[in-house]
Structure formats: structure tokens, C-alpha cells
């Protein structure tokens, strides 16, 4: 969330930003509530002060005076309780509004209400492959080579689940190992993370665990949800913590399963592995000083490019338009890989600078040695690889006329073979 004071001091800016981001939020109402809230807070402080004063005096007062003072104390506490009640009411309403106000937007982010305004920045090193045969999509390839069991997945858990099988299991693990290796050389701390997290962590990161539109599976009878990304767990990792400025930036990468209900996604591209309820992902996450987050975003984007250039998968880099940014993102770049099966690009990574939008709610701060007080860190996240879509990209781009799939050079050592041929 944004800083309350900042909103009040920059009403027009915030309203314009909401408009650019296609986010309906009642900023005026918020400002009015905030004014009331401040007034009530002062009144409450004053009432508490009087109550404290009275309470302290009783201990020192002669016994015969005590009853009178107690009565006075009761009266003041009643008064304070009434103010508190009003304050709670107003705070609750203004909290609801402030949660709907998105982060500010980077000045260079393309302005536009939806993804049509997204801007292609550049292409990856690998050219789009020209096949002298009709390329198959990954579902057909998997069928021919016996690599993925979608029907079995549906039987066990419903549509959107699948079994990886045979060589694609090796390919899946090889991709993970390759990506991990790239990240380790860059000094990322590797972590495997919980696949469940508390709802307040989900909310701090910007996910809404319940409600009709939710993308999140929640565990009945508990305060836990299945994570949609390791961004949630890696961001929650430092919630409530204060880190030393000299320890920043922190670069983490987390491997987790990701679960998404994909509510409302019917009709969109959902064939095969593209849009599924469960997949594995390696996520990069960084905590930085505010002055460093712009650079870190470029760095994370470069890492994504290196990973896909290394794999020899063609892609384009897209600068996300304001209206297509999620609430917490200040700026976002996506990599869209070429997917011959659909004859189009499909999103494979996404990296965002969330500035202090997440850290404010999660209360993640840093301290500068010798300086008084603490400040909020900036948080960033980026997909290193989402295995489901990574598999699509590799399988489809590396398919051969004879129906086999060549294993990308960088994966061969991890994979133990250089071609997937199926059993014939």
C-alpha cells in the first residue's frame, strides 16, 4: 500500500495514477476519512493522557481521596473507548480503500489502460526458427513422445493438472538445475520455500486469499493458503524485520510449487501446460535500498534474458503498460517466448519493482549505521523460470522433422542426453 500521508499530500497525482492504471479507487473519500482519523487520533491521545495522569495520581493519593479519582478515571476511559470505537470504524473503511489504491508508476512506463499499450523493447539473441515442416504444439509433441499425461492429471485432480512423464521429467529437472546454476554464479541465495503461507503474508504481497475473484486456493479451517508464487514466501520471509543497510541488496531465489485457481480464465489460451492449476517455478526476489531498485529491476530483467538466450529460445521483452500492472508493481517487464505451436509469443517471465508497496504492509525496514530511525526497503521479484511454460518453449522450439526434440546445449550435461525420442 501507499503511505497514507503521501496520498493526502498528493491527491491529484494519486488520482491521475489510479486513472492511468484503470484502478477505481475512491481517493477523495479516503482523504476525507484520513482527516477525520487524524482528528480522532489526537482526541484519543489526549484522553489517554488524562487517563494516565489520573491513574498515576491514585497510587500516591491518600486513601480517602481514591474513590473520587477512580470515578474520574472510569469516566475518562469511557470517553476514550467511545473515541476509539469511532476511530476503529473510520480506520477500517479507509483501510479498505487504501488497499485498492495501486502503487505509483515509473515515469517511463507506457501509459495505457490495458495490455494493448504494452511496448515491445527488444528481441532476444535467438531468431525465430523456420521449420520446413508444420510444427506441432507441445500437447501433440507430448502425445507422440509419451511425455505428459493430461488425462491422468484430470482423473486425479481435475482439468488443469497433469503428470510429467519420461524424458520430460528429466528436462524439467535439467531446466531447474541449469537456471539454478546461472543464479548461483550471480550470488543468489537458493531456497526451497513452503508451498503454503499465512493469509496475512499473501495480503502483504498483494494477493487476495478469498472472495469470488481469487486466484488463491485456501485451506479450509486454517489461516493458510497454497502459494501462487514463491514471491509470497520470499517476501514474507523478512516480514516485521529490520535489516542492516550494509547487508542490502539481498538476492534470493526460491523454488516452489505454484497453485492458481485461474478463476475467470476460461476461453483464454489454456491448452496443455500453458495455463494450469499447479506448476513449479524458480523465482528471484530482491530486497534493496530505495535508490537501487531501478537498477535491480534492469538486472533481474537481464538475468531472465540471459537464461532464455542461454536456452536458445527466441523471445521479446515487453514494458508493461500502466493499466496492465498489478497493484503492487511500480514497473514491470515481461519476457514473451516464441511458441511455434501457437505461432505467437507467450508470457514466460515477469519481473516487477514493487518499491515500498509490499514492504510497508509487511513492515520490512532497513537501518543505516549511525543514523536514527529506519526506512522501508524496496522489494522486487522476477521469474527465473516457470517450468510449465519453460517446457512449452523448449519443446516447441527444439522439435525436429522426425518428431524428436533436441535438448538445448546448456541442458545436456544436466539431462544426460541430447535428444528426446520417445520409445519406438
Q: Which of 21, 275, 331, 365 is catalytic?
A: 275
Q: How far is the CB of 44 from RNA (least distance, A)?
A: 6
Cα 234 to the chain's mean position, in Å?
10
Part of the chain binding RNA (CB under 7 A), chosen from 52-60, 96-104, 122-130, 402-410: 52-60
User: Between the CA atoms of 71, 76, 78 and 84, what dihedral angle is there, to the nearest 10 degrees?
Assistant: -160
Instruction: Tell me if residue 99 is catalytic.
Output: no
Site for RNA (CB under 7 A): which residue of 54, 105, 293, 383? 54
Q: Is 383 helix (H, G, I), strand (E, B) or coil?
A: strand
9 binds RNA (CB under 7 A): no
Q: Name the residue among 204, 202, 196 with its Cα closest to residue 214.
A: 202
Q: How many residues bind RNA (CB under 7 A)?
A: 29
Residue of 38, 155, 210, 417 that binds RNA (CB under 7 A) = 38
CB of 240 to RNA, least distance (A): 8
In the bound complex, what is the minimum distance in angstroms from residue 370's beta carbon to RNA?
Answer: 7
Contact between 300 and 380 under an 8 Å Cβ cutoff? The reply is yes
CB-nearer residue toward RNA: 51 or 237: 51
* Residue number, 49 or 155, with CB nearest to RNA: 49
44 binds RNA (CB under 7 A): yes
Burial class (CB in 10 A: 0-12, 13-18, 19+), 270: middle
CA atoms 248, 253, 254, 259: torsion sign: positive
Could you write out the DSSP letters of every residue in 3-25? -HHHHHHTHHHHHHHHHHTT---
**24 vs 59, beta carbon nearer RNA:** 59
Residues 328-367 touching RNA, rule: CB under 7 A, are 365, 367
- Judged by CB under 7 A, does residue 221 bind RNA? no
Q: Of 293, 350, 352, 359, which residue is the catalytic one?
A: 350
**Choices 14-22, 263-271, 331-339, 368-376; region in contact with RNA by CB under 7 A:** 368-376
Q: Does 424 bind RNA (CB under 7 A)?
A: no
| Contact partners, residue 348, CB within 8 Å, separation at least 6 | 308, 315, 335, 336, 337, 383, 385, 386, 389, 390, 393
Phi, psi of 33 (to 5 degrees): -65, -40
> Where do we find the cell 529460445?
313
For this structure, is 347 an active site residue? yes
Helix, strand, coil percentages, rounded to 5, for the chain: 45, 20, 35
Considering only residues 74, 125, 271, 417, which one is a binding residue for RNA as defined by CB under 7 A?
74
Contact residue for RNA among 29, 52, 156, 210 (CB under 7 A): 52
DSSP 324-370: GS-TT-SEEEEEEEEETTTTEEEEEEEEEE-TTHHHHHHT-EEE-TT
Q: Which residues bind RNA (CB under 7 A)?
A: 5, 38, 41-42, 44-46, 48-49, 51-56, 58-59, 69-70, 73-74, 77, 365, 367, 370, 372-375
Active site residues: 260, 275, 347, 350, 389
Amino acid at each position: 500500500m501507499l503511505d497514507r500521508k503521501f496520498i493526502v499530500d498528493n491527491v491529484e497525482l494519486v488520482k491521475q495514477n489510479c486513472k492511468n492504471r484503470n484502478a477505481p479507487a475512491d481517493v477523495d473519500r479516503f482523504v476525507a476519512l484520513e482527516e477525520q482519523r487524524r482528528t480522532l487520533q489526537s482526541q484519543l491521545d489526549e484522553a489517554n493522557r488524562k487517563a494516565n495522569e489520573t491513574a498515576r495520581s491514585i497510587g500516591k493519593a491518600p486513601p480517602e481521596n481514591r474513590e473520587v479519582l477512580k470515578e474520574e478515571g472510569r469516566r475518562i476511559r469511557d470517553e476514550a473507548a467511545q473515541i476509539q470505537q469511532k476511530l476503529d470504524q473510520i480506520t477500517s473503511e479507509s483501510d479498505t480503500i487504501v488497499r485498492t489504491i495501486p502503487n505509483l508508476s515509473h515515469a517511463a512506463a507506457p501509459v495505457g489502460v490495458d495490455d494493448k499499450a504494452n511496448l515491445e523493447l527488444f528481441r532476444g539473441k535467438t531468431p525465430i526458427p523456420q521449420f520446413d515442416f508444420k510444427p506441432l504444439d507441445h500437447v501433440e509433441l507430448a502425445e507422440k513422445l509419451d511425455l505428459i499425461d493430461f488425462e491422468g492429471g484430470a482423473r486425479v485432480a481435475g482439468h488443469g493438472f497433469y503428470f510429467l512423464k519420461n524424458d520430460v521429467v528429466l528436462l524439467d529437472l535439467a531446466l531447474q538445475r541449469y537456471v539454478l546454476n546461472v543464479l548461483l554464479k550471480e550470488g543468489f541465495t537458493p531456497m526451497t520455500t513452503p508451498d503454503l503461507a499465512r493469509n496475512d503474508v499473501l495480503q502483504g504481497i498483494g494477493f487476495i486469499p478469498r472472495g469470488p475473484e481469487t486466484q488463491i486456493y485456501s485451506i479450509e479451517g486454517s489461516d493458510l493458503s497454497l502459494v501462487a508464487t514463491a514471491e509470497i514466501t520470499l517476501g514474507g520471509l523478512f516480514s516485521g524485520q529490520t535489516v542492516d543497510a550494509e547487508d542490502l541488496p539481498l538476492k534470493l531465489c526460491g523454488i516452489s510449487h505454484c497453485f492458481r485457481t485461474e478463476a475467470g480464465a476460461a476461453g483464454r489460451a489454456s491448452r496443455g501446460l500453458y495455463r494450469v492449476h499447479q506448476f513449479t517455478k524458480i523465482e528471484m526476489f530482491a530486497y534493496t535500498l530505495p535508490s537501487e531498485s531501478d537498477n535491480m529491476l534492469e538486472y533481474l530483467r537481464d538475468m531472465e534474458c540471459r537464461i532464455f538466450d542461454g536456452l536458445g529460445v527466441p523471445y521479446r521483452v515487453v514494458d508493461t503498460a500502466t493499466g496492465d500492472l498489478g497493484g503492487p508493481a511500480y514497473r514491470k517487464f515481461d519476457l514473451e517466448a516464441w511458441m511455434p505451436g501457437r505461432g505467437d509469443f507467450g508470457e514466460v517471465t515477469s519481473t516487477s519493482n514493487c518499491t515500498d508497496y509490499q514492504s510497508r504492509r509487511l513492515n520490512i525496514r532497513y537501518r543505516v549505521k549511525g543514523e536514527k530511525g529506519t526506512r522501508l526497503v524496496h522489494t522486487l521479484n522476477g521469474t527465473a523460470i516457470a517450468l510449465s511454460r519453460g517446457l512449452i518453449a523448449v519443446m516447441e522450439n527444439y522439435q525436429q522433422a522426425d518428431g524428436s526434440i533436441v535438448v538445448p546445449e546448456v541442458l545436456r550435461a544436466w539431462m544426460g542426453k541430447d535428444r528426446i525420442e520417445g520409445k519406438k
